[in-house]
Every structure is written in structure tokens, then in C-alpha cells.
Structure 1
Amino acid sequence: MTIQPFKRISVIGLGYIGLPTAAMFASRKVEVIGVDVNSRTVDTINRGGIHIVEPDLDMIVHASVHEGYLRATLEPEPAEAFLIAVPTPFKGDDHEPDLHYIESAAKTIAPVLCAGNLVVLESTSPVGATEAMAGWLAQARPDLSFPQDAGETSDIRIAHCPERVLPGKVMQELISNDRVIGGMTRRCSERAAELYGTFVTGECVIATGPRVAEMAKLTENSFRDVNIAFANELSMICDRLDMDVWELIRLANRHPRVNILQPGPGVGGHCIAVDPWFIVASAPAEARLIAMAREVNDAKPGWVLEKVRAAIGAHLSQNPDRTAREVTVAIYGLAFKPDIDDLRESPALDIARRIAAEHVGPLRIVEPNVTTLPEGLGAGVLCDLTEIRAEVHVMLVDHKDFKNAPRPDGQIVDARGVWKDAH
């Protein structure tokens, strides 16, 4: 049978994953319609600009828009394939997965679906989300058949293919990384593999179904979360025992089968800080280690905050003629990882906001990847690295701009080991 190439693709959600994915298809001379609920995002893209920071993305979007292969809109249009890349947050504080963005996206594209279309859920999702999406589509379009009822003969193909990219290297990893594809039927998987074969040079590995594909992504990030929790717990133990955790890890990693990760102020980003809870929600009695790792990492910002309080107290103790209102605290980094502007689930931002809420003195913030401060930082002032004059220095993100800067004078709270001689 002759494989019909995809001529028009629609990407629903033009954020940190959706826009790079849309741009990658467009760079292969495929017409791409990007859909987003934010009119400012749509306008920016249609001018050939981008609203996020990601190396090389700006050039590809600019070229694709001006060559006519990429266009953004607020309303979906007919296409041959639809990729859903929307957020999957929690409901409240109990970490229950919230699928309302996926449900909304499904109901939004349902009116323009036609027989032969492929719908792929890219959003990292709890187990069963792809099947739930298929159910919402079927409810909205009873005139079409779907895999859960019609199997291989369905009008619409449904699959899950989670993104597996590292912010800062998205454009390279979209191409080179293997993709895990879980279709609701074998034909669904094969059609999705054909879609990603448009630009992926890595292997498109077909799972036995969407649930396995969903679980694979959650497992990858939970594995990393558990390892980071081990490193973070070591940092707290070393602090109690008056040891340098970075020296300890460096020495332990000389063992040929040991590779301990580096500690930090917590865990951020939409994936590692979120995905393990999806597994816990699916099997709470069994996922004990995964849940404990999440608790360790979620508690680390509070531990760092205690160190900041102690540093302020130490300065006041050494300078009894001063008050807290006269103590300037400098915060280095707000993003969830180095050298990007992504603040999602960032422990650094959480710590900065908590400092701003309780510290009565000046607050100076150095974040080279943003031009304006996010909400919740009170009277905090965004500063250049060379402008900082402070009594307490809090290193939260090891941006490349910070690594070669000299160790500042004053009290040091270094959650990333940039100023190792301060320990």
C-alpha cells in the first residue's frame, strides 16, 4: 500500500513543546497550522517571532512563517493530523491529575475532524489519558468511528507519543531522540510513526498500546527524580555532618558503577517535578519510593530557605548595629534549570518568592534569561550581575554567566556548588 505523506498538520498548544514541534514539521516543507488560546502568542508567531527562549527556534520559526509553511490561529482548521501539546497540571494540592486542557483541546478539534485523520496526544499524561481523549472525541463526533469501538477499521486514528526533549536542546533532540509511540491499534501506531518520520532520525519505537507509552515517559522522569532526591538528601546529610557534598559526590562517582547526580534547591520544570505524581495517583499503595522521592525534592526549597534565614541572622549577629531592613539579599537565578527562561515549577522561583514574602530589606535578583520579573517577588529588583552589592548571596541556578564570576563577599547560601570554596 502506498504511504500517503502528510500535507497539512495542526499543532494544538504553541508552548515549549508545541511550537518547536510545529516549527520542525514546517521546516520540512509541510503546511502547519498552530492553534493557541493566547492571541498575543498567535500574533507573535504570525510576525515570525517567538514568545519563548530556545536556541535556534527563532530562526526556524521566522523562516517557516515567511515561507508560508507555518501559521498560527485561535481556532482549529481541518488537517490530516492533529498533535495535542497542552499542559497537564494538578487539581489543588493533592496532586490529582487535571486533564481539562486535554479535554478542551479534544472538543475544540472535534468539529473539524474527518475520516482518515490522525490525532496524537503529545502532552505528558497519566496512564489512561489517551483513551480518555478518544472517548471525548467520540462523544463529540458520533458520526465518526474511533479505535475503542471500531478497532483497525476506525475512521480516526489515535496515538500517544510523549515528547522526550531537554529544554535548551529541544531543536536537536526533537530530531535525534528516539520516540515511543503507543497507538490504540497497530494501524494507529504505524500512521503516527509515519508522521514523526517526517523529521525524526531516531527510532520510532512502537509500544503495545498508549498506556505503555504513557507509563514509559512517566517512568523516565521518575527515575531521574529518585536519583535527584538521593543527591538532595545527601546534601542535607553532609550539611549536618559538616562535609562538602560536591567533594563527596565527586569521590563516590569514581566508582565505575556509581553515577550520583548533583544536588540543587529542589526539582523544577513541568516534567520531573510533575510526572512522578501521575504514577503515584495511579498506584498509590505500590509507588512508595517514587512518592518519597517527590517529598524529599519538594521539601528541599524549604531547607534552602532555612539556610537563607540563618545567613541573614549570621550577618546581623556579626553587625549588631544593623537591622534586617538594612540587609540586602541577592538571588542568583529563577529558572528551573541553567541557561533557559523556563520558570515552570521552578524551585528557585519558589524560594525567591518566599524570601520576598518575609524579608523586609532590599532584594536584588539576577536572572539573565528574563527581561521582567514574574509576579510574587514584592519589591525585588532585576539587576545585572555586575551591579550586585549585597550582604547575603543566594545561588539557586548555575547559569553559565555565574560560573566564572568571582565569589562575592558576605554570607553565602550556595545550592548549586558554584562557590565551592564557601562551604
Structure 2
Amino acid sequence: MSFETVSVIGLGYIGLPTAAMFASKRKKVIGVDINQKAVDTINRGEIHIVEPELDILVHASVTQGYFRASTTAEPADAFLIAVPTPFKAGGSVIPEPDLGYIEAAAKSIAPVLEKGNLVVLESTSPVGATEQLAAWLAELRPELTFPQSSGSDADIKIAYCPERVLPGHVVRELVENDRVIGGMSPESSAAAIELYKTFVEGECIITDSRTAEMAKLTENSSRDVQIAFANELSLICDEIDVDVWELIKLANRHPRVNILQPGPGVGGHCIAVDPWFIISKSPDAAKLIHTARKVNDSKPLWVVDKVNQAVGEFLQRHPERNAKSVTIGCYGLAFKPDIDDLRESPAMQIVQKVREVHAGKILVVEPNVESVPTQLGEVELVELEDAVSTCDIHLLLVDHKEFKSTVIDKSKVVIDTKGVWL
């Protein structure tokens, strides 16, 4: 089938690069987002997120007339839904996925759906979300048929195809990485493959929608478990006075061992979130996955305790000082190096907690943002050189490239959660 017009619902860290890739192949792309500021920015040929090479792609595709953004959905041949899937409010022990954004996307595209259209859900979702999307669309457009009731003869084809990209490398990995295609019918899978092969050079592997959903969750849960092992090692080594960085380096010399590096926690809207989608479906069976989540979620509080200890030790060495006079420098807010994405960032959580308990000044260095999020309270965003020269305690939270060559005076207190300054 022919896909000349593609609509991407959600123009964030995944939707915008995906839309730009289709536009770069001279497809007419309509990007849809509820954020008017993001829509206006894109229509100027600019981007509202930090991602290498993306600015060039967006500028070219907008300038050439292949890509434009809107706050309302319009008719298209294919619709890709790339919206957030957060947790429901309420603070339950096991967070419950919130499919509200997916439902809102369904409501936005339903009026413009036409026979022969393809709808692909890309949002990381709990198992069964694609079927729920199809049910919502069927309810909204009863005159059309869908795979859950009409199978191969359905008017609308529906599939699930999760992104599998690394922030900072999205443009390249969208092209090179394999894609898992979970169609609700063979025809849906075939149509989705044809669509993605517009720019994907990796292999497209067919399965059903539930397995595709579970595959995405499994990939990130596996990473979460591996990181939890490294983070737990860091806690143990701190107690028994062993250098965890040296330990892991030595252990990894075994030909079949590859331990990851510990850190201040786990962030981002994938590894820190996706395991809960599995746990919420099978809480009694997902014991290891649940434990890994607890280990990684507790690591930021452990870091905050280390900061409190450091302040106490500093004041013992400097009895003429008080806590209010101690300046703490926090290096990095993003959830991983060299990007501006603050979603689920352990660094954000740590800075916020430190602000709550520390009476003195807190300086933040984050080279990828222009302002500090308001939830951090009274902290000051400064240049790297200012923090290095004025802070008493230096807390490294993200190994941005700007920090790797930084030299901290040996007389200052350093808490290095990434093993860069040790």
C-alpha cells in the first residue's frame, strides 16, 4: 500500500525524530502535539529538545515543505502514536500505568480515520495496550472495522512497534536498529513493515502485538536488573571499604562477565518505568524485577545520606564554619550524559532532596539546559568554572563530557557517583 502522508502524534524525544526521518525520505509528514510552543518552534524549522543531528533534519524537512506541525490531527495514510505513558497518581506500592495519553491520541485521530489507514502505537506500554487502543478506536468509529473483530478484512490496520533507541544517538539508531513489529493481523504487520522500511535499514521482525509489547518491557527490565546488581555492589563495597570501580574492572576481565557501572540511580522514561508495567501485571511472579526496582529506586536516597555525612565531616574539620556557610555543587541533572532529558532523573531527585535538608547554598551545573526546573527550589544554575572554584562539596551526578576533564582541588570534598573524578 502507499504511504504518502504520515501523521505522528506526539512530538517529543521519539516522535519528533521519527517524523523528521519520514520527512527526510520525502514523505508528507504532519506532526501533532498539544504543546503549542513546540508546534510553533518546529514550524520555524527549529527543535525544542537536544538531540545531535536532529536540528539539521527538522530544518531541512520544514524548509522543503515535507514536515509541518499542528495541534489537531488531520487525515493521513498512517498514524504513529508516540505519547507518554506515565503512572497514575496516588502513590500506590506498585505504580499503575496511565493510558490516558494514548486514549487522548485515539480520540484525536478517530474523526479523521479512513478505510485503509494504518495506526501504529510506538509508546512504551503495558501488555494489552495495543488491543485497548483498537477497542477505543472501534468505539469511536463504529462504521469502520478493526482487526479484533474482522481480522484480515478489517478497514483499519493496527500494529505495535516500540522504539529501541539511545538518547544522544536517536537519528542513527532509528535507521540502523532492528524493529519488532507486532500487528493485530498479518496484514497489519505487513503494512507496518512497508511503512518503516521507508527509512529503517535494520531488520523488521514480525510477532503479535502482545509479544512486541512484552519484548520492549523485557529489554529495559533486563537492563534495570543488571544496573541494580552494579548499584548493590556499590552499597556493599562502601560498607566493607572496597573500591567498587576497581572491583568491577577486575571482575570484568573474566571472559563471560560484563558488570555494568553503578550510578546514583536509574532514570529516563524507559528503564526506570518499564519494569513497573511488568510488575503491575504479574506482581507475584515478578520478584527479581521488583527487587531490582527497589534497589535502583533507593540509590538516590543513599547518595543524599552521603552528602549529609560529607557536610557533617566538613564541619568537624572546620569548626569555625556552620552548615549555612557550606556550598554544595551538584554536577548534572539529566538522566544520562550529554542530553537535556530530565525525565525520571535520579540526579533531579537527589538535588531536590539535598535542597530540602541543606541550609546552605546549592549550585547546579547542567550544560544542556537553560534554566533550573522550579521543583528544585532555591538552587542556582551556574557555569562549571564557578562551581569548581566556589563550592566546598562537589557532587558528581552525571558524567557529561564537560565534567570528565574537570580537576577538583584535593582539599575539597568530592562525592563521585560515576567514578569519573576518583
TM-score by length of 2: 0.98
Encode CA deviations 1:163-211: one digit per residue, 9 max, x unaligned: 000000000000000000000001100100000000000000001x100
User: Could you say which residue in structure 2 is the equivalent of 1:231?
Assistant: 230
Does structure 1 residue 342 correspond to structure 2 residue 344?
A: no
Aligned length: 416
User: Could you say which residue in structure 2 is the equivalent of 1:254?
Assistant: 253
Tell me the secondary structure at the aligned position of residue 375 of structure 2.
coil
User: Could you say which residue in structure 1 is the equivalent of 2:62?
Assistant: 65
User: Could you say which residue in structure 1 is the equivalent of 2:377?
Assistant: 378
Identity value in percent = 64
Encode CA deviations 1:103-156: one digit per residue, 9 max, x unaligned: 110011000000000000000000000000000000000010000000000000
Does structure 1 residue 195 correspond to structure 2 residue 195?
A: yes
User: Could you say which residue in structure 1 is the equivalent of 2:404?
Assistant: 403
Residue of 12, 17, 20 corresponding to 1:15: 12
Q: CA deviation at 1:212?
A: 0.1
User: Could you say which residue in structure 1 is the equivalent of 2:416?
Assistant: 414
Encode CA deviations 1:351-388: one digit per residue, 9 max, x unaligned: 01111122111111111111111112222111111112
Q: CA deviation at 1:5?
A: 2.8
Does structure 1 residue 165 correspond to structure 2 residue 165?
A: yes
RMSD over equivalenced CA pairs, Å: 0.7
Q: CA deviation at 1:349?
A: 0.6
User: Could you say which residue in structure 1 is the equivalent of 2:212?
Assistant: 213
Does structure 1 residue 289 correspond to structure 2 residue 288?
A: yes
Instruction: Specify every segment of 5 or more residues in structure 2 that has no aligned partner in the other structure, as ranges.
Output: none
User: Could you say which residue in structure 1 is the equivalent of 2:23?
Assistant: 26
* Mapping 1:22-171, distance limit 5 Å: 22-92=19-89, 93-94=91-92, 95-171=95-171
Tell me the secondary structure at the aligned position of residue 10 of structure 1.
strand
**Matching residue's letter, 1:110:** A
Between the aligned partners of 1:265 and 1:224, the Cα distance in structure 2 is 15
Between the aligned partners of 1:407 and 1:236, the Cα distance in structure 2 is 24
Tell me the secondary structure at the aligned position of residue 350 of structure 1.
helix
**Matching residue's letter, 1:26:** A
User: Could you say which residue in structure 2 is the equivalent of 1:392?
Assistant: 393
Encode CA deviations 1:31-59: one digit per residue, 9 max, x unaligned: 00000001000000000000000000000
**Matching residue's letter, 2:281:** S
Q: CA deviation at 1:320?
A: 1.0
Encode CA deviations 1:274-321: one digit per residue, 9 max, x unaligned: 000000011111100000000000000000000000001111111111
**Matching residue's letter, 1:154:** A
Instruction: Specify every segment of 5 or more residues in structure 1 that has no aligned partner in the other structure, as ranges.
Output: none
Tell me the secondary structure at the aligned position of residue 181 of structure 1.
strand
Q: CA deviation at 1:325?
A: 0.6
**Matching residue's letter, 2:223:** R
User: Could you say which residue in structure 2 is the equivalent of 1:204?
Assistant: 204
Between the aligned partners of 1:410 and 1:364, the Cα distance in structure 2 is 15
